[in-house]
Structure 1
Amino acid sequence: MFGFRKRRRNRLRAQPLAESAWAMIDRNVPYIRQLSPTDRKELAGIVQVLLAEKYFEGCGGLEMTDEIRLTIAAQAAVLLLHRDTDYYPTLRSILVYPAAYIAASRLVQPDGTVIEGPQTRLGESWFRGSIVLSWSDVMNGARDPHDGRNVVFHEFAHQLDGETGAMDGAPALGAAARYQAWARVLGAEYTQLLAAVHTGHPSLIDRYGATNPAEFFAVVTE
């Protein structure tokens, strides 16, 4: 089973993206044009696998198109460059709304306050299942790589985080020494952000990252 899947993925990765597909990616995600030819080739192979293995569905009246699939898959592929990857193994479907949408929410704030009720959302990531995205915000994040906001990076970072079996701010790293170094660095930066939020001091990292270590990882990935 695993050998068949590996061979299938190798065949997919060997297929070049059509020129029309590259045109859509380069137009909508302009920073990808800056990748080296080698990285662009690797990214194209990852995109082919994601398009073949993940189900994309339009919601809220949005008609799914190749442009939407390619724009999302290309950004998700950036996070997998130069990694030994299983291509977001627990992710099955990517649901896309035209714009921000309303969903029920229970949010614990950094100060411990709990807020419940309808919430406007730009995206969601569910462990072992699906990602939900706002198409307008996908485009906003893709076209401006300098604003520190990218909903695709954010939600797919949660998927990387969850590959260890829990969304706790630590993606799969392999050796124990790597986890120790990760915990040391992330812990220090997370503590610094918490202090900034509690004291009202400015931070380059969005205060939403202080919600918990999982959100911190997703925010800094943006």
Structure 2
Amino acid sequence: MYILVGGAGIMGSELARALVNIDHTVAVIDIDPLACQYAREKIGVMAFEGSAVNTTLLMEAGIRKATSVIAALREDALNLAMVTLSKHYGVPQIIVRMNDRDFYEPYRLAGATHIISTTELAINRMVNAIEYPQVDAMMHFEQGQVEVIKLSIPDECYIVGRSLAELAQDPRFPAGTLIIGYQAHPHEDLMIPNGNTILEKGSTILVVTKPDLVKKVIDFIGMCR
């Protein structure tokens, strides 16, 4: 895929590096010549010096052939302009970093396919770390209506040695909750479990649930014999 990143700051640069590492072709645009130099020499991507909302420069950077554009500029107003231009040039996937939540609706109307608030992500991670220290990771979906949580199963725990079918029939298992991923050991791949999957000690599970059921899920999984 050819991916065009607007902004070569800390986020834009690290994002470009991550994309290159998974074999994407990446170009960045930034007004800072030193940032562009760093992107070329240290990351190994194409870098275009100038404004990411300059149509001439966007054409030079190949926006018409881009499969994805990521707007990670310093200001929401500039990101909004880049989203609008990307939509105009027919880019199928337009991802934008949102700083101010007031821009959510304008971004959506302008054609952004993914709107990501880095501030909200950071705040949510910190709050979750305090509220649910047992959770390895947690992600929100559908504006916080659904939670996906990653949990490690304690060695001496109620659910160790039981199958998912058994858990589903347990009246204490929160209704409306699904275990959608299972990793028996850290060196093994994550698998999609079924009713016959036996939960081993030291394994990891991915659970989908509602926000108000997170504590119940943690309490259930943490039940010691």
- TM-score, length-scaled by structure 2: 0.26
**Looking at both structures, which has the greater relative contact order when contacts are Cα pairs under 8 Å and sequence separation is at least 6?**
1
Q: Which has the larger radius of gyration?
A: 2
Q: Which structure has more helix as a fraction of its residues? A: 1
Q: Which structure has more strand as a fraction of its residues? A: 2
- TM-score, length-scaled by structure 1: 0.27
